[in-house]
Amino acid sequence: METKVAVVMGSKSDWPLMQESVNLLKELGISVEAKIISAHRMPDELSSFAKQARQKGYAVIIAGAGGAAHLPGMLAANTALPVIGVPVPSKHLQGMDSLLSIVQMPAGIPVATMAIGKAGAKNAALYAASILSDRDPIILQALEGYRKQASEAAIASQEEIDADI
């Protein structure tokens, strides 16, 4: 069975942000599926998904949530798989409410929490890849290649600044 990452969001409005995670996972060659499961409107589906996730081949769950941001914590409460929370920026509080809701999990139900917004969505994918790289040398190679490319881009930026001085 192929190892997969689930990218879960509470509604379609979260998709433009969570697509950043999906795209980066695909770029790294990691099998990914995106799902809409609302913690508040679909509690039975959430519980069923999380409890069956390991048997369905998922190894990591990335959950994007805004506002009260219960999705990552409720998923984590229903599975022992690693859950990575991505705070979705909200209209009124710009995602601070989401960040605090995700990061303040009680002891015993951990959720790795990323930054608010696009950086968090990308880092969630990279963190999932890091978790998977321990058991998959192909993912390790892809992750190391991505990091090397990022390093080379930063060095090139410095060279451009040096040329302008």
Phi, psi values for residue 138, rounded to 5°: -70, -40
Determine if residue 41 is labeled as part of a ligand binding site: yes
Residue 71: CB atoms within 10 Å: 32
Determine if residue 151 is labeled as part of a ligand binding site: no
Own/partner contacts of 126-129, CB < 8 Å, gap of 24 or more, are: 126/24, 127/84, 128/5, 128/21, 128/25, 128/30, 128/60, 128/62, 128/82, 128/84, 129/25, 129/28, 129/30
Determine if residue 54 is labeled as part of a ligand binding site: no
Contact (CB, 8 A) for 85 and 69: yes
4: left (phi over 0), alpha (psi -120 to 50) or beta: beta
Binding-site residues for substrate sit at 11, 14, 41
Q: Which residues are annotated as a binding site?
A: 11, 14, 41
